[in-house]
Amino acid sequence: MTQRNAIVTGAARGLGRAIDLRLARDGIAVAAWDLNVQDARETAELIEEQGGTAIGLGCNSAIAAEIAAALAETRDRLGAVTILVNNAALSPFRKFEEITEEIWDGLMAINLKGPFLCCLAVIPDMIGVGWGRIVNISSSSAQTGSSHQTHYAASKAGVIGFTKSLAMEFAGTGITVNNLPTGFVDTEGLREAPVDVDGFAQRTPMKRPGRPENIAAAVAFLVTEDADYITGHTLSVNGGRYLN
């Protein structure tokens, strides 16, 4: 393929921005989608300043109509989409007995329904060219459990199951589907969470948090031709927090 175009959701900051920057560095045209359209555009501007091709668009990836509108603009400006990184997510901390039905449904809409809707919208482009890469960002919390994050861990476990099933269904089409359970990565979101980041780091095998660039590098590999025989895989990037 001479041109690859990617959508990265949750691209305004943290992991999403790092993934966008890395994909663009590898010559991929990037559409940065996020609820925060101003910061999504800032991500695109950073890429263009470095000589890459990018657009920043506002999109709630849990709403089909917004996905359709953002996808139409992405296709119009970049072309068919052949890479999708489902990164947008909520990761709150809350006691189990304080999780209401509304809170549960809202989180599941972003974390689990969102990847489903985005895949449903984009896969036709991939089928049309006979090539595609889908990378879903899950979480080590789905592998280990996480106190005060029952809803979050459950949603990310769903992402892992969704990934494996989708990979099996499309394995013969030239589309691969994999997921990355991130673990303890030093982002703005982690620093805003009620976590003793430095203290927890000392209890992990590497005794330090990961960097967003570590996740971005793993995504960059999974979307290459070199990874064309890897699908349905759970690639844990967590510094040894959870050993597959």
**Which residues are catalytically annotated?**
152
Cα–Cα dist 149/103, whole Å: 12
For the sheet containing 132-139, what is the strand order? 54-58, 29-34, 5-9, 83-86, 132-139, 175-182
Half-sphere exposure of 230 (CA within 13 A, CB side): 18
Identify the DSSP state of 98. Answer: G
The secondary structure element, H or E, covering residue 83 is: strand 83-86
- How many Å apart are CA 226 and CA 116, to the nearest integer? 26
